[in-house]
Amino acid sequence: MTQPNRPLVSRRAILRGGAAAGTLALARVSGADRIASAGAQEAGTTLAEKLRAAVEAPVLRRSLFARPVTIERVDLLRNGRFFLVRARSADGGVGLAEGHGPVLDSAWPILVKRVAPYFAGKDARDLDALVDGVYVRDSNYKWQGLPFWASVASVELAILDLLGQVSGRPLGDLFGGVRQRDIAVYRASSNRGNAPEAELAYLRQVVEETGARAVKFRLGGRMRYDEATTKRDRALIAMTRKAFGDRVTLYADANGSFDVPKAVEIGREMQDHGFSFYEEPVPFDYYEETRQVADALSIRIAGGEEEPSLRQFRWMIETGVLQVVQPDMFYFGGMTRALRVARMAEAAGLECTPHMSGSGLGFLYAAHFASFAPSHGPHQEYKGTDDLPVSSPTSPLKAEHGVVRVPSGPGLGVVFEPGFLRAARVVEG
């Protein structure tokens, strides 16, 4: 299925990274070259040492809190298909966040039985250590994967909202300060297998509705390809560029559909049409094969959506497997862990644009992250609120003119409709 391993090239070709008004030329360099480059590194400091320091640096601004914020309990609530996590402090504070509904619909016992109890009685100011601690508590490391880390992320978001409510500060201030409130978005299509003409019509529609200046569509057949999917891919790559010209940045996601030869073939088509990144050309855990594709192409390779391991992200960043790093805000375990990845990406001169799974408030979590995190890309993923009854006094909570405004209120800065909350019931194990 894959080509034989080849040596990592010393320097990749000049690539084209899309921007709203055109393309931006950048040089992509392997991890080994970054270490060897005297101009790119501080004296006596290797990239490996910089990455280790990025991971070990404190994340939460503990200095914002003069006294402990003791977590009394964490509850999972459900109202229909929506799951909420509520964190209460011993002095009456409340934090509330939407959890990952599609995952928790099956994985809720992990949150209720293995994750939430760990946080009770702990000081929320120790969130950095708590996110690490829940991983080893009662051998939870044996449960590592999407269901476990999505549960941790859902709890972490509620605790962050609690800390924001207690301090009176927006979420970004808890991590070092809000750098920007207006976050440009890209609109991602979930369609696969429809005719190129139908997909192009859909992309035109969502660009018109949101004003987004970037779109992402899907390639391949999800973990497979055939003659029909390849014909669609080639047509859609050419049609989208012709239709949107240089005014819209184009991304595409193969969801691991290809082997190395086909991935390179399709990637060259994308290069010729000025696409900005190529997401998951081969299955996500085909690390060496992903590097082979990256070495063969000048387009940036994006990935990391399903990756649960901080150490594996570090290896992929250090060795040049990825050029756009994409931890999922839920699948990877929340903002604390994702910020560590973003800091590593920054140290290596790479872009970190987190993946956003699900809908609901996922777009808001991605926008909050981009408001404070380093090295984030020019556009963040947007899918809308999915009819979740939530509002904000400081943000319309939707994309307008291609931008989502991050709320400036405390914590997440949102208010759930009171009747919706009253109807929600505690999920008990």
How high is the pLDDT of residue 94? 98
Per-residue pLDDT reduced to its tens digit, 250-295: 999 999 999 999 999 999 999 999 999 999 999 999 999 999 999 9
- Residue 94: both structure tokens together: 């409340």
Per-residue pLDDT reduced to its tens digit, 370-382: 999 999 899 999 9
How high is the pLDDT of residue 44? 59
DSSP annotation string for 19-60: ETTEEEEEEEE-HHHHHH-TTTS-TT--HHHHHHHHHHS--S
**Residue 384 banded pLDDT, cuts 50, 70, 90:** confident
- State the architecture of 69-169+419-426 in CATH terms: 2-Layer Sandwich (3.30)
Q: Do the strands 22-29 and 11-19 form a parallel or antiparallel pair, or are they unpaired?
A: antiparallel
Residues 6+ apart with CB under 8 A from 127: 59, 60, 156, 159, 160, 163, 336
Mean pLDDT, the chain, integer? 90
How high is the pLDDT of residue 35? 32
**Residue 358 banded pLDDT, cuts 50, 70, 90:** confident
How do the domains of the chain map onto residue ranges? Answer: 69-169+419-426, 173-417
Assigned CATH class of 173-417: alpha beta
pLDDT at 200 over 80: yes
Q: Which residue has the higher pLDDT, 236 or 28?
A: 236
173-417 shares the fold of 69-169+419-426: no
